[in-house]
Amino acid sequence: MIDLERLFKGLADKSRLRIINLLMHGELCGCDIQYVLRASQPNVSRHLT
């Protein structure tokens, strides 16, 4: 049950969902994700870890 809780907590963030959606279409580097989301590099890195 704890694994599901962690999964849903991770998916609750809109930025993470947008990143997952982008990556479903293929590989992207962090700079591409940063450009599409109009987010800072530290913010994108935080969501990818």
- Is the pLDDT assigned to residue 43 strictly greater than 80? yes
Domain count, the chain: 1
Q: Say how far apart CA 38 and CA 23 lie, in whole Å.
A: 16
**Residues constituting the chain:** 49
* 3-state helix, strand and coil shares in percent for the chain, rounded to the nearest 5: 75, 0, 25
pLDDT confidence band for 1 (50 / 70 / 90): low
Domain range enclosing 18: 2-48
Closest CA to 37 of 45, 11, 7: 45
User: How remote is the C-alpha of 33 from its chain's centroid?
Assistant: 9
> Does the model's pTM come out above 0.85?
no
